[in-house]
Structure 1
Amino acid sequence: MTILASRTLVLPLEEASQVGHARRTAHRLAEQQGFDAEDAGRVALLATELCSNVLKHAQRGELHLRAVPGASGGGIELLAVDRAQGFDTGTCMTDGFSTGGTQGIGLGAIARLAQVFDVHTDERGSVILARLYRRKGEHTDLRIGVSHHALHDDPACGDTWQVAIDGNCLSALVIDGLGHGPEAEAAAQAGAQAFGAAPFIDPTLLLERMHQAMNGTRGGAVAIAQHNADSQRLVFLGIGNIGTNLVDGVKARGLASHPGIVGSQYRKAQAFDYAQVNGNLLIMYSDGLQSRWKLEDYPGLVHRHPAVIATVLHRDFCRGRDDVTVLVVDLEPIDG
């Protein structure tokens, strides 16, 4: 069984000196994931090129960094994010093309450096994804994306998330501890620890264990989604204000949660069963994200990598006054 969880590190890009800081930060994160000198150098080069592309094309933006899991060890996810006018992807994929009038290597060269590459661009801005894994050994990229941020980059985050994978079974969790800061984080981590101990048991029993673990903390909102790709079914149980949607094509249906606070009190915990969900997107988000988004407002976005979808939603709908988590899972068989 594999359990995934990691925080998004956001590096601002407003002037050229910040490119070097981003490169060093990405290199250090790669070393922490066990990358050798050559592979860590590839991560640093990608960070440099992505950051330079943002500054040339959009003048300002961000680089999002996160550790991601792989079959033979951890990988690195880099996301270049901007709010400029967008660009013609076909033209920019050509080596030597530069929007800034300088000698550019082109997104095509960036794509060749990365093992996983994807782009979404429109009039609202652009998100460019690159994931790299260690070249020694095989890796399987999981179609899971998350944008997970603490308010004002606080070291403590009251949101947390986990995804557990066992064959073609997946169990996803999002917790929003009440408020933010260390006490909210303690509540969320208590619940996550209980979830991680047995993520595939009956969700009502799992929620009760989390409720007991979070007793004595501030408590929080909890959502659990368990997907079995073989039976094409999803079971969902939510308490509190974690938003959850199943997206089929671009049509989204909200999944119902019950009122209450896990760790404090809730009157009812009923799981709902959804059939024929393979091929859907599962999108779970804390209330740090506005709920008024619609994927149909972003032509083509539903077909992009879940990491790109999560980042676009965070970029455009983050409230900016609370911790925020956006988890996107492509509900397809995992082990092939």
Structure 2
Amino acid sequence: MTIGGTLTLVLPIEDSSQIGHARRTAQKLAEQHGFDATDAGRVALVTTELASNILKHAARGELHIRTLPRPNGAGVEILAVDRAGGFDLQACLTDGFSTGGTQGIGLGAVSRQTDVFDVYADSRGAVLLARLYPRSDKAPDRRIGVSQHSLHNDPACGDVWHLAFDGPRISVLVIDGLGHGEEAERAARAGEKAFAVAPFASPLLLLGDMHHAMIGTRGGAAAFAQFDGDALKYVGIGNIGGCLITPDKSRGLASHPGIVGGQYRKAQPFDYAHVNGHLLIMYSDGLQSRWNLQDYPGLVHRHPAVIAAVLHRDFCRARDDVTVVVVALEAAHG
């Protein structure tokens, strides 16, 4: 199974009038991807409560929404993101709790409506994750997270990501086409198309195919990681950031200078043994590189989608396209 990269849909929540729009948007998305009326209704209910929760506790924030391709169909992911401190998680998880004088079904009830529910909150703000799948979909949740945003909400994005799964194997790609806009996207998509043909091929052959596909475009920075259930191979050209993280350690992943589709003098795959259980984080240079998960106690144990959203919220440069991909390296992905 492969998952082609898509932008995160961002819905500002700054006024109660925006709650209805968010609910309708999420419900329509669910219906378009095969949710029946009951399951789409769950999506609408959860979206309403998460948006309302932002206004109650933070006054303003955003909902980040994306579809989650599955072997049979798709799920819907909703992230509530804010920058306000003072979020009382235990109180909010109590059914009927409301600081706004409304009835409120409580995040506890929301968590029971969802297939995946997770939260991270501290003085910098809160991120709440809800993932919903049709009740007929019994496949396990994939512990991956992606946050991708184009500069100035341009419909074209020069960043591209791609994920491939084959049993316990995972292959992860991030490309940053030079500049931004349509020409940058064309360059990145050319590389992605070549990668998608054989995402588990020998790293240098795969990089060569991507390079040839990107000749004649602007070119770009590119990196991919191949996980076999135990070890990981990593190849990077240009300034795609990559790291392997455990609760007590972080290792940067090495890249070589150059431009894929342009010129690079050297390419070498690096091998990292026994990384099952690690987090893999890859990101374009639209994200600052000075972040450290240890500055966020407990975040390493949260769902990868929460981690990606926190990193985007706090470290986006806001002057380029930005992509953050977080993958829990687990042989049980199957």
Q: Same fold (TM over 0.5)?
A: yes
Q: Secondary structure at the match of 1:334?
A: helix
Paired residue for 1:286? 284
Comparing 258-267 and 135-144, the one that deviates more: 135-144
- Pair 69,334 (structure 1): closer, same or farther in 2 beyond 3 Å: farther
- Give the counterpart letter for 1:191 in structure 2: G
Correspondent of 2:249 among 248, 251, 265: 251
Instruction: Report the count of equivalent residues.
Output: 334
Alignment partners' CA distance in 1, 2:246 and 2:125: 25
Alpha-carbon RMSD across the aligned residues, in angstroms, is 1.1
Alignment partners' CA distance in 1, 2:13 and 2:269: 44
Alignment partners' CA distance in 2, 1:285 and 1:335: 21
Alignment partners' CA distance in 1, 2:291 and 2:312: 10
User: How big is the shift at 1:87?
Assistant: 1.7
TM-score (norm 2): 0.98
What is the CA deviation profile of residues 139-167 of structure 1, one whole-angstrom value per residue up to 9, with x for unaligned ones?
Answer: 22100000011111110000010010000
What is the CA deviation profile of residues 306-333 of structure 1, one whole-angstrom value per residue up to 9, with x for unaligned ones?
Answer: 0000000000000000000000000111
Q: Pairwise mapping of residues 113-132 of structure 1 onto structure 2 (< 5 A)?
A: 113-132=113-132
Q: Secondary structure at the match of 1:266?
A: coil
User: How big is the shift at 1:335?
Assistant: 4.3
Stretches of structure 2 lacking an aligned partner (at least 5 in a row): none
- Give the counterpart letter for 1:130 in structure 2: A
User: How big is the shift at 1:7?
Assistant: 1.8
- Give the counterpart letter for 1:334 in structure 2: A
- Give the counterpart letter for 1:265 in structure 2: Q
Alignment partners' CA distance in 2, 1:66 and 1:159: 16
Comparing 304-313 and 250-259, the one that deviates more: 250-259
What is the CA deviation profile of residues 230-278 of structure 1, one whole-angstrom value per residue up to 9, with x for unaligned ones?
Answer: xx10000000000000001142111110000000110001000000101
Alignment partners' CA distance in 2, 1:218 and 1:275: 35
Paired residue for 1:204? 204
Alignment partners' CA distance in 1, 2:21 and 2:165: 34
Paired residue for 1:138? 138
Question: Which structure 1 residue ranges, 4+ long, deviate > 6 Å from structure 2?
Answer: none
- C-alpha contact (below 8 Å) 2:286/2:318 kept by paired residues: yes
Alignment partners' CA distance in 2, 1:85 and 1:250: 26
Alignment partners' CA distance in 2, 1:99 and 1:256: 48
Comparing 82-91 and 252-261, the one that deviates more: 82-91
Q: Secondary structure at the match of 1:299?
A: coil
User: How big is the shift at 1:42?
Assistant: 1.3
What is the CA deviation profile of residues 28-47 of structure 1, one whole-angstrom value per residue up to 9, with x for unaligned ones?
Answer: 21122111222112111111
Paired residue for 1:261? 259
Alignment partners' CA distance in 2, 1:100 and 1:3: 40
- C-alpha contact (below 8 Å) 2:2/2:196 kept by paired residues: no
Comparing 278-287 and 104-113, the one that deviates more: 104-113
- C-alpha contact (below 8 Å) 2:221/2:240 kept by paired residues: yes
Paired residue for 1:236? 234
Q: Secondary structure at the match of 1:83?
A: coil
Q: Pairwise mapping of residues 1-336 of structure 1 onto structure 2 (< 5 A)?
A: 1-229=1-229, 232-335=230-333
Alignment partners' CA distance in 1, 2:317 and 2:170: 29
User: How big is the shift at 1:183?
Assistant: 0.2
- Give the counterpart letter for 1:309 in structure 2: I
- Give the counterpart letter for 2:225 in structure 1: A
- C-alpha contact (below 8 Å) 1:4/1:69 kept by paired residues: no
- Give the counterpart letter for 2:240 in structure 1: I
Comparing 98-107 and 316-325, the one that deviates more: 98-107
Stretches of structure 1 lacking an aligned partner (at least 5 in a row): none
Alignment partners' CA distance in 2, 1:60 and 1:75: 26
Alignment partners' CA distance in 1, 2:281 and 2:333: 21
Alignment partners' CA distance in 2, 1:157 and 1:52: 30
Identity %: 69
